[in-house]
A and B are shown apart, each in its own frame.
Chain A
């Protein structure tokens, strides 16, 4: 048998992946129906699927989705503006970069979301608490990637700019920034993912706002199929968000 025959067709692995998921859910359905799994802990997958329309209409999911999207957008807007500006400043002034870059990296590993009680005191139980926490959590990757992107600009491009006697501002906007844009977008994308994670997490924790609050409310009502459906919806939103930003990054790089 030739080696080419051993290579699986390109559609088979995704099919196996989806098929395994369907089989897993079917097995759960059977085990719950048979009583092997307590249905007061794990609801029937069919019940979860059936509860989707109810959750979408009764819980006003679209409005809540819009609220979460608005909070993410506001946080992303802030972290893009401040992050790129801070990164550009750190790239421009070497001393600041040397002094602060390790701090920014350390800040990235700090569990900032744990400070949500502090933000509740500072900004109240409001959208501002969620946006500010998401903004600060997403800031370090934007700053670090901006510095990295600007520092990686090819020497020949900078020399071309110098030969045209560009001012520092022109040098930045016409040479450095366009050259660093793909790397900066990687940072913005990471920052937006952190922002989304923190927005949903804080909504869930403080029981306020969009999608995170729905899960909390449904769980407190002990609406099991609804809770699982809402969690699935949040996962779906995260995955779509992740795929869209990933495609945008690839497009920008190409």
Chain B
């Protein structure tokens, strides 16, 4: 009987050229930063030393105040994403499912999508007040466009055979939506949500920096107003890590890499 021999793939060395280059770039950047900090070429405090930023980061992460503000921002983004996401999915389904409606209204979505949404903030303040409502509205408006456009595009890519199967079973519109369209459009919806999450995050946080007394955006502008530069850098580092991390997680969930490979 022939013996099946399986061979484990050779383990990649952890110190490959790419890893070494990455480490060298990071090290170089940190060294240049530290030299800039101690050189005296910049105004004192503008480029704080790495230990000062590290200490500010540790202090920030060890205070309950930070987590409370993080929770406030996360809540505003989540509600904004939920409202904008539901509206975007519904609009995308309607536009993607009807050619006439798409020709009539999709150009407006397409052209309004890239406009800077922060300019609507004064209007949002008038409509929803200076509290969390206006920030949630900013998040919802920001994420609506990419989600609607992504869902509409995804709807047009559904295999016609699936739609004909649904129609042959005389499925009602809501059955078509829940049994055919939505399952077939998992990737476009999640991809739209990923794009929407990114812009909702920016919209909400920018609104917090402009007019708020809570949230991570407020912490950023408060650190700037107090000229606490180490804290400002620390908050920005945390924000960038959170934003990139969340984006990567959602992308993994959508298995976008698999789609690309196909």
Band of interface residues on A: 35 or more
Residue B94 CB within 8 A of the other chain: no
- Out of B119, B123, B240, which one reaches A111, CB within 8 Å? B240
Q: Which of B127, B224, B240: most chain A Cβ within 10 A?
A: B240
Chain B residues in 8 Å Cβ range of A118: 224, 232-233, 236
Interchain CB contact under 8 A, A96 and B21? yes
Q: Are B202 and A113 in contact (CB under 8 A)?
A: yes
Which of B21, B115, B123 is the one whose CB lies under 8 Å from A228? B123
Query: A99 touching B119 by the CB < 8 A rule?
Result: no
Are A110 and B122 in contact, with the CB atoms below 8 A?
A: no
Measured CA separation A9–B201 after assembly (Å):
42
Contact indicator A120/B224 (Cβ below 8 Å): yes
Q: List which A15-54 residues lie within 8 A (CB) of chain B.
A: 16-17, 20-21, 41-42
Report if A238-B114 is in contact (Cβ < 8 Å); known contacts: A117-B232, A205-B210: yes
Cβ-closest chain B residue relative to A93: B21
B116 touches A95 (CB 8 A): no
The residue on B at minimum CB distance from A122 is B46
Contact with A along B164-202 (1 / 0, CB 8 A): 000000000000000000000000000000000010011
How far does the alpha carbon of A155 sit from the alpha carbon of B242 in the complex, in Å? 41
Determine whether the beta carbon of B104 is less than 8 Å from that of A14.
yes
Q: Which residues from B are CB-within-8-Å of A116?
A: 209
The B interface is mostly helix, strand or loop, or mixed, namely helix
Partner of B46, one of A111, A113, A121, A234: A121
Evaluate whether A20 and B119 lie within 8 angstroms (CB atoms) in the complex, with A8-B100, A110-B244 already known: no
Select A239's contact among B115, B123, B223, B244, beta carbons within 8 Å: B115
Q: Is the CB of A111 within 8 A of B104?
A: no
Say which residue of B104, B120, B202, B209 sits within 8 Å of A20 (CB atoms). B104
Query: What is the interface of chain A, defined by CB distance below 8 A to chain B?
Result: 8, 12-14, 16-17, 20-21, 41-42, 95-96, 98-100, 106, 109-111, 113-118, 120-122, 193, 196-198, 200-201, 204-205, 212, 215-216, 218-219, 224, 227-228, 231, 234-235, 238-239, 242-243
24 A-B residue pairs with CB within 8 Å? A13-B100, A14-B107, A41-B127, A109-B198, A110-B240, A113-B202, A114-B217, A115-B236, A117-B223, A196-B114, A197-B114, A197-B116, A200-B119, A201-B118, A201-B119, A204-B121, A205-B210, A216-B122, A219-B122, A227-B122, A231-B120, A235-B119, A242-B114, A243-B111
